[in-house]
Amino acid sequence: MFKDLGNMANILKQAQQMQEKVRQVQDELKSKVVEGSAGGGMVRASVNGQQQLVSLKIEKEVVDPEDVQMLEDLVLAAVSQGLDKSRDLAKDEFMKITGGLNLPGLMP
């Protein structure tokens, strides 16, 4: 019986350590930024590791009042690419602390 309690205490300790590592990774991801782009770099979207859009740059040459749809498409493509890269970054960082195990609900 005491052996079981010792094992349970060890499991709880490991879970607490894992929680702390998750918090650290989440904090680190706030400062890591990836960029998505479209239109040959004419539209660039910067997204942090927590899937937050932190900046959007649009070159003036791509702004055409006669073709707003194209600009909307470029912005959408750049932001989508940035978000995809951000999710990949977060996944890679969390995989490091789980030893490659994909634990449901762990990633933000």
Domain ranges of the chain: 2-98
pLDDT over 60 (residue 11): yes
pLDDT class of 86 with cuts at 50, 70, 90:
very high
> What's the burial of 90, exposed, middle or buried (CB within 10 Å: 0-12/13-18/19+)?
buried
Ramachandran quadrant class, 18 (left: phi over 0; alpha: psi -120 to 50; beta: rest): alpha
> How high is the pLDDT of residue 55?
98
CA 40 from centre of chain: 23
Are 55 and 43 a contacting pair, CB within 8 Å? no
Q: Does domain 2-98 have CATH number 3.90.1580.10?
A: no
- Per-residue pLDDT reduced to its tens digit, 14-25: 888 888 888 899
Average pLDDT score over residue span 36-57: 97
